[in-house]
Amino acid sequence: MADIKEQLKLLPENPGIYKFLDRNNQIIYVGKAKNLKKRVSSYFSSKTGQSGRIRHLVRQIDRIDFTIVESESEALLLENSLIKKIQPKYNVRLKDGKTYPFLAIRNEPFPRLFTTRILADDGSEYYGPFVSGLNKNYLLDLLKKNFFIRTCNYHLSKENIESRKFKVCLSYHINLCKGPCEGHQSMDEYMQNIEQVRKILKGKTAAVIDFLREKMKTAAKNLEFEKAEEYKNILNAIENYQAKSTVVNPKIRNADVYSVYSNEKLAIVNFLGISNGAVIHTDTLEYHKKLEEKDEDILSLAIQEFRERHLRNSKLIIVPLKPSYKDEKLKYEVPKTGDKKHLLELSHKNAVYYYRELENKKLIQQNKSQRTMSLLLQVQRDMQLKNVPRLIECFDNSNIQGAYPVAAMSVFKEGKPFKQGYRHFNIKTVEGPDDFASMEEVIARRYRRVLEEQLPLPDLIVIDGGKGQLNSAVKVLKELNLFEKVDIIGIAKKLEEIYKPGDSLPLGISKKSATNQLIQRIRNEAHRFGITHHRTRRIKGSLTTELDNIKGIGKESIRQLLTRFRSVVNIEKADFEEIAEIIGKHRAKIIREYFDAERNL
């Protein structure tokens, strides 16, 4: 602490950010301050009523780093970027791994409109992000269809169009594009449409509607009724889109609305973006508290995050309480009545709903865990097991008349398939169809490895088979001194009866019971997994040709010949020179002699 006190004396009274590091030189907290000296010193003052979490943080501080900036605004920006990059142990954590899509107008002749998640520095214009994929797709479809935005990848330079390098596509013939690629639409006309698209993407639908109404009237006046009808259809589409937005008081032209709903561990911040009297952006973030941060601090972080994410430049910020940091360029308002209060309540309802949804998800997860534990306890009681069967391993043999013998192991953890633990076994020491010997080999190989690598033993082993297979497995477990440590059962294939070692009769468990259904499910997984592997081996084994019978011709030569000639029949018809060109004269001679001899038989 003596070293810390010396560091505190050296701190400046400027705005900036500070970092607390532990003995391992790891950054454990990042903060901002108007006055670095006062803010950092407050952590080490015995007069402050600090919570247990802050005292725990202070005990771990070994060193203090700081960076001076020009203003508190720069401090907030730097703090926000550092927290997102470093994710220090004691900072508020932003839980947000999503990358939301944007709509982009590409920087090119006759610009295209497309969806992207990457903001490239190529001069293109980006609008969004869109939290709702449905809203984004609806808007993209509306703009492309009604403003005839091209979808082709042609480079429509003036030279390419004049040289008639491209042909119109289907979109032109079904009236979704005006055909700029063949000069049917001028650049000026196309860019007028792009300008209207820009306004709609910025939420300025009123200006677009006025523009289209004027165009419709002009067309009707000039007796161009088809054009007037076209403008009318576009108007209807835009008005329908506008109706899908939450409409508020038109006097509230552009504003950002924020609300906070929090408890001791969690804060939910909701955001509504208002443009031209309509809600055009909605988003919610979830912050996990580390040091009992106040709502004012959370709100400061959220405002900065949302404005960066949604590229907002509104000057009016409607909030339930003043944030701890206030940007001098913005106007903060805490409304008590009226439409602004209504907007705040709407945002608050969204935050509360989001919180309840989180709680419901946790409750559902807890209920699932409780149901799983109840099932496993029932299995333990029904089968009189030593332990709750949290980890179950099941074995199944598979072969056809002793050919390609394999075995499979399925694994269930907490009542669910644990597919990373599934294993295949190719039977190595058994010849012919001997299920008992195959089971001995597989159990021995599996549990010798478990002991050698000190892997966790299962709570229950399930053998797919009757008493014979079960006794084979028990024999191996006794040799490995595991029989007293692990429970083992067998499930007979025909009657679905469950046997325990040494019992002449099956357990009296109902076929419809949850216990029996779980064991059958585990057995079916092992069977499915084993059959798949067996089929793969069988197919590989059957992929032989007449060429495999020719001595002196290896697999690589066969592969090269089949790649070139496609079939054995074509190889037989090929002359010596054609074959020699691929695999050499010596092997070509062997193949030709083989087929010539076959022909003379």
The reported pLDDT for the residue numbered 128 is 65
Is the confidence at residue 267, as pLDDT, over 70?
Answer: yes
**pLDDT of residue 459 exceeding 70:** yes
- 351: confidence class by pLDDT, cuts 50, 70, 90: confident
Are 423 and 513 found together in one domain? yes
Predicted pLDDT at 49: 61
Asked which of 136-150, 170-184, 415-429, 536-550 is least confident by mean pLDDT, the reply is 536-550
**Do 78 and 215 belong together in one domain?**
no
Asked, for residue 131, whether it belongs to a domain, the answer is yes
Name, in order, each residue with C-beta under 8 angstroms of 367's C-beta and a sequence gap of 6 or more. none
Percent of all residues in the chain with a pLDDT value above 90, rounded to a whole number: 22
Across residues 146-174, what is the average pLDDT? 89
Integer Cα distance of 594 and 589 in angstroms: 9
CATH number at residue 564: 1.10.150.20
Q: Is the pLDDT of residue 475 over 90?
A: yes
- Torsion angle, CA of 592/595/598/600, rounded to 10 degrees? -60
- The Cα 72–Cα 75 span in angstroms is 5
H helix or E strand, kind and range, residue 259: strand 254-262
Domain assignment present for residue 56? The answer is: yes
Which one has a higher pLDDT value, 266 or 494? 266
Q: What is the rounded distance in angstroms from the CA atom of residue 197 to the CA atom of residue 48?
A: 56
Enclosing domain of residue 222: 102-247
200 and 238 together in one domain: yes
CATH number of the domain enclosing 437: 3.30.420.340
**Cβ atoms of residues 463 and 488 within 8 Å:** yes
Summarize pLDDT for 542-571 with one digit per residue, the tens.
445 677 778 888 888 888 888 888 778 888
Q: Are 301 and 92 in contact (CB under 8 A)?
A: yes
Crossing angle of helices 205-221 and 187-201, in 10° steps, is: 140
Same domain, 304 and 437: no
Distance (Å, rounded) from C-alpha 514 to C-alpha 520? 10
Write down the pLDDT at residue 400.
56
Shared domain for 574 and 534, answered yes or no, is no
Task: Flag whether pLDDT at 10 surpasses 90.
Answer: no
Q: Is the pLDDT of residue 326 over 70?
A: yes
Residue of 333, 325, 307, 332 whose CA lies nearest to 74: 325
Pick the residue with more confidence: 549 or 520? 520
- Model pLDDT for residues 121-156, shown as the tens digit of each residue: 788 888 766 655 666 777 788 788 888 899 899 899
**Cβ atoms 88, 29 nearer than 8 A:** yes
d(CA 375, CA 372): 5
| Mean per-residue pLDDT, 256-268 | 91
Both 491 and 399 in one domain: the answer is yes
Is 484 a residue whose pLDDT tops 80? yes
Q: Measure Cα distances from 234 to 92, 147, 226, 284 in Å.
A: 47, 8, 13, 32
Task: Point out the domain boundary residue: 218, 247, 276.
Answer: 247
**pLDDT of the residue at 281:** 74
Q: Is 571 part of any domain?
A: yes
pLDDT (mean) for 281-302: 86
Residue 100: pLDDT band (50, 70, 90) is: low
Work out the average pLDDT over 342-364. 82
* pLDDT tens digits for range 576-599: 888 999 899 998 898 888 888 766
* Inside any domain, residue 443: yes
Q: Are residues 238 and 328 in the same domain?
A: no
Q: Which residues have a Cβ under 8 Å from the Cβ of 176 and sit 6 or more positions away?
A: 144, 145, 148, 151
Angle (CA) 33 1 15, round 5°? 10
- Separation of alpha carbons 475 and 436, rounded Å: 11
Q: Both tokens of residue 181?
A: 């690629």
Q: Is the pLDDT of residue 247 over 50?
A: no
* Domain total in the chain: 5
In this predicted structure, the answer to whether residue 354 has a pLDDT above a threshold of 70 is yes
Average pLDDT over residues 467-496: 89
369 belongs to a structural domain: no
- Say whether both 472 and 516 belong to one domain: yes
Q: What CATH number has the domain bearing residue 293?
A: 3.30.70
| Within-domain flag for 382 | no
* Conformation bin of residue 157: beta by default, left when phi > 0, alpha when psi is -120 to 50: beta
Regarding whether 524 and 551 lie in a shared domain, the answer is no
Q: Same structural domain for residues 12 and 86?
A: yes
Per-residue pLDDT, 52: 76
Q: Does residue 459 lie in a domain region? A: yes
Q: 340-368 burial string, b = 16+ CB within 10 Å, else e? A: beebbebbbebbeebbeeeeeeeeeeeee
Average pLDDT, integer, range 505-515:
84
Q: How far is CA 46 from CA 441, 506, 582, in A?
A: 69, 71, 87
- Of 219, 247, 275, which residue sits at a domain end? 247
Task: Indicate if 423 and 527 belong to the same structural domain.
Answer: yes
In terms of C-beta density within 10 A (0-12 exposed, 13-18 middle, 19 or more buried), how is residue 51 classed?
Answer: exposed
Token duo for residue 571: 């190889």
Residue 1 — very low, low, confident or very high, per pLDDT cuts 50/70/90?
low
- Output the pLDDT for position 226: 84
Return left, alpha or beta for 503; rule: phi > 0 is left, psi -120 to 50 is alpha, else beta: beta
Mean pLDDT across the stretch 156-169? 89
Of the three residues 524, 540, 556, the one that is the final residue of a domain is 540
* pLDDT at residue 97, as a whole number: 45
**Mean per-residue pLDDT, 257-271:** 91
Highest average pLDDT, of 228-237, 266-275, 542-551, comes from 266-275
**Residue 435 sits in the same domain as residue 523:** yes
Position 380 in a domain: no
The mean predicted confidence, pLDDT, of the chain is 83
Alpha-carbon distance of 446 to 442, in angstroms, equals 6
Check which CATH number belongs to the domain holding 70 and give it: 3.40.1440.10
